[in-house]
Amino acid sequence: MKWEYFERKTLGIQLVTSADSIALNISEGYGRFHYKENKNFCYFSRGSAKETLTAVTKARTRNLIEEDEFELLGDKLNLYFRLMFGYINSIGNSGNIEKG
């Protein structure tokens, strides 16, 4: 909300859209019948997270966010990548119960 119109219209909208897409893809995948579809949506979610990280990096480079905000968001996204990597690797393993 602190950003000027141009920054909100260009990078801001892209940042919010990609960040929202992280969780939306996870949710959509979870509701799928086959585990392979769930995995695909998790991969889509990771792509959205990479896009979000790029937008956050651009925001920092353009001095739109402070260094502490940049580090916090980067830390949260890096945690997401580690957790999602483990989750993707667990999907469909014989120890898991498949839906359907």
pLDDT, tens digit, for every residue of 24-65? Answer: 999 999 878 788 999 999 999 999 999 999 999 999 999 999
Number of domains observed in the structure of the chain: 1
Q: Provide the CATH number for the domain around residue 26.
A: 1.20.1440.60
- Looking at residue 31, its pLDDT comes to 79
Residue 97 lies in a domain: no
Residue 43 lies in a domain: yes
Residue 82 lies in a domain: yes
Residue 98 lies in a domain: no
Residue 33 lies in a domain: yes
Q: 78 lies in which domain range?
A: 5-90
What span, in angstroms and rounded, lies between the C-alpha atoms of 42 and 38?
A: 6
Residue 99 lies in a domain: no
pTM: 0.84
Residue whose structure tokens are 């001095």: 63
The band of 19, judged by pLDDT with boundaries at 50, 70 and 90, is very high
Residue 35 lies in a domain: yes
Q: Is 48 exposed, middle or buried (0-12, 13-18, 19+ CB in 10 A)?
A: buried
